[in-house]
Amino acid sequence: MTDVLTKAQRRHCMSSIRDRDTKPEITVRKWLWANGFRYRLRGKLPGKPDIVFPGQRKVIFIHGCFWHCHHCRFFKWPGTNTTFWREKITGNVERDKRNRAALKKAGWKVLVVWECETKSVAQRTLWRRIRRFGEN
């Protein structure tokens, strides 16, 4: 199946995808603030974590299910340009692993929150998991 957009149109569409202040990030940040957790945004640490608790040496990454290959109902391998997407997404996953390992080696605790966990159905479990992470 060929792409229905021209290269210029596809480039414009892809460039409009946000890399910060996404809906899942805002959802988690609002919950954290409302529950008394104070944090910094986008620390200058390996992987540039979305949320940083500097005093506790803890970080939270909020990953999109597609971009970071979460095996849930929101992830599906693209049907076009498959070689590019396999390399891109597997590269993201490998980079994530390296960044988490570097942070752990430096003494940081890491929590990964997936986009699908921020959906209303899964939020109760997510909030419990974040609360435990913040208290330990």
pLDDT at position 44, please?
85
pLDDT at position 1, please?
54
Inter-CA distances, 36 with 33, 109, 113, 131, 134, Å: 5, 19, 19, 11, 10
Asked if 24 and 115 count as a contact pair (C-beta separation under 8 A), the reply is yes
Q: pTM higher than 0.75, yes or no?
A: yes
Inter-CA distances, 15 with 20, 75, 102, 120, Å: 13, 20, 29, 28
* CATH number among 3.40.50.9100, 3.40.50.2000, 1.10.630.10, 3.40.960.10, domain 19-135: 3.40.960.10
For the chain, what percentages of helix, strand and coil (3-state, to nearest 5) are there? 45, 10, 40
Q: Mean pLDDT for each 10-residue chunk of the chain (136 residues)?
A: 73 68 90 91 88 94 94 90 93 96 96 92 86 85
pLDDT at position 63, please?
94
